[in-house]
Amino acid sequence: MKILHTADWHIGQLFHEYDRAYEHQQFLNWLVATIKEQSVDILLVSGDVFDNANPSAASVKMFYTFLNNALKAQPHLQIIVTAGNHDSASRLESPKPLLESSNIHIIGIIERNTDGSFNYEKLCIPIHDKQGNICLWIMAIPFLRMGDYPTVADSTSPYTDGVMALYQEAYEYTLTQKQAGQAILAMGHLHAMHAEVSDHDNHERLIMGGVEFVPVTTFHENIVYTALGHIHKAQRIGGRENVRYSGSPLPMSFSELNYKHQVVAFEVIGEEITHIQSIEVPLAIPLLRVPSSSKQLAEVLNKLQQLPPVGDNLLLAPYLEVRVLLNGPEPALRHKIEAAIEGKNVRLTKIDVKYPDNKGNVDGETAIALCDKLHELNPFDVFARIYQSKYNNPAPDVLVVLFNQVLEKAMDWQGES
């Protein structure tokens, strides 16, 4: 069986407020062609199909159109989709009864039996060969929220221990169903311990807490392949070739400027895995960073003015990040940059501003001491210190004059009151 693993599509995502529908459609068109060219039997999509729990009608249509096109291109294809943390588990599952008649399985919700035990039958999906015989089993486990995993008594890490327990119990259940010669695969949408994260992943960790890590031992060594989603950088975990994140097919931040996005393909013969390979996803819209490292504003504007003129379709122009080094506030910065790129074949997404390294930054204890003495400082001293700390330069005379005018006016108002 030829299997292809992908995840983290995030259909409907905006890239710095720019619509990415064209990019997503190009990826899905490429994926359909790849499924046909590679004679893929099984497609695994490990979560975050959509970028939010309430996707637009256009995003939903794009997803289901892809499913239809994939089956037309490869009629025997079997598709397994699990929900990620960005997806609405119930919404993603809603067309499940209809789709299962086409060998499309969507798993979003962790169901329980009447006695309160977990329904592992729903999570363990038999995969049939072209003759209709079961050839392998897939533990299709979606993103696990609180209550979706067993409670482990006296645990100091309820999430980690609970997730490990659920995977162990799902594996044990699957063992009762499989026959000799049938492989077991697993899917997951989670943060594996020691996974290398991108800038976008770091942003999500702040939202999710940063304590939801699971070790690679969560996945039994006899599982021939574990298809993971959630981390956007493709990688193997724990030194195991068969435990992998496929990564996102589209770049999520400028930190991925030179990163090659991919899907993972492999074959399963009996209970053995072979021919694991990464297939690079073509980049529909390039990322452009000008300059490559932060420069003074005059030099940056000169480089921007040298960019090529706009082509036939500005909606296909590269996303632009501008890096500029400033010595102090520059209120007209965005206006100057927009003026420099007017008529150029780029779309401004981000202005990354840096200031000279401040060697005089105070440590935590010094900062506390300064706070304790704050009542001893006059307002101008506070202003001067903050400016120096932020810009590593003394406040310019024009700002000093303006600050003193504001301070004088404020003191007049206080006297009047």
Residues 197 and 103 in one domain: yes
Residues 168 and 306 in one domain: no
Residues 307 and 270 in one domain: no
**pLDDT tens column, 358-390:** 554 444 444 445 555 656 677 877 777 777 777
Q: What percent of the chain has pLDDT over 90?
A: 71
- For residue 384, what pLDDT is reported? 78
Residues 105 and 135 in one domain: yes
**Residue 297 forms part of a structural domain:** yes
Is pLDDT of 153 > 80?
yes
Residue after which a domain boundary falls, among 250, 280, 310: 280
Residues 217 and 337 in one domain: no
CB 138 within 8 A of CB 185: yes
In which band, very low, low, confident or very high, does the pLDDT at 246 lie, cut at 50, 70 and 90?
A: very high
**pLDDT tens column, 117-138:** 999 999 999 999 988 899 999 9
Residues 149 and 229 in one domain: yes
Residues 85 and 34 in one domain: yes
Task: Tell me the pairing of strands 124-128 and 134-140.
Answer: antiparallel
Residues 295 and 274 in one domain: no
**Residue 359 forms part of a structural domain:** no
Q: Which domain holds residue 273?
A: 2-280
Residues 157 and 299 in one domain: no
**Residue 162 forms part of a structural domain:** yes
Residue after which a domain boundary falls, among 235, 264, 280: 280
**CATH label of the domain that carries residue 47:** 3.60.21.10
**How long is the chain?**
417
The residue with greater pLDDT, 330 or 204, is 330
- For residue 308, what pLDDT is reported? 95
- For residue 197, what pLDDT is reported? 75
**CATH label of the domain that carries residue 320:** 3.30.160
Residue after which a domain boundary falls, among 335, 354, 373: 354
Residue 192 β-bridge partners: 214
Is pLDDT of 208 > 70?
no
Is pLDDT of 100 > 70?
yes
Residues 271 and 375 in one domain: no
**Residue 350 forms part of a structural domain:** yes
**Mean pLDDT, the chain, as a whole number?**
89
Residues 311 and 397 in one domain: no
In which band, very low, low, confident or very high, does the pLDDT at 10 lie, cut at 50, 70 and 90?
A: very high
**Residue 150 forms part of a structural domain:** yes
Residues 68 and 128 in one domain: yes
- For residue 364, what pLDDT is reported? 47
**Residue 8 forms part of a structural domain:** yes
Terminal-residue alpha carbon distance, the chain: 81
**Residue 302 forms part of a structural domain:** yes
Task: Name the domain count of the chain.
Answer: 3
**SS3 letters for the chain?**
CEEEEECCCCECCEECCEECHHHHHHHHHHHHHHHHHCCCCEEEEECCCECCCCCCHHHHHHHHHHHHHHHHHCCCCEEEEECCCCCCHHHHHCCHHHHHHHCEEEECCCCECCCCCECHHHHEEEEECCCCCEEEEEEECCCCCCCCCCCCCCCCCHHHHHHHHHHHHHHHHHHHHCCCCCEEEEEEECEECCCCCCHHHHHHHHHHCCCCEECHHHCCCCCCEEEEECCCCCEEECCEEEEEECCCCCCCCHHHCCCCCEEEEEEEECCEEEEEEEEECCCCCCEEEEEEEEEEHHHHHHHHHCCCECCCCHHHCCEEEEEEECCCCCCCHHHHHHHHCCCECCEEEEEEEECCCCCCCCCHHHHHHHHHCHHHCCHHHHHHHHHHHHHCCCCCHHHHHHHHHHHHHHHHHHHHC
**pLDDT tens column, 33-82:** 999 999 999 999 999 999 999 999 999 999 999 999 999 999 999 999 99
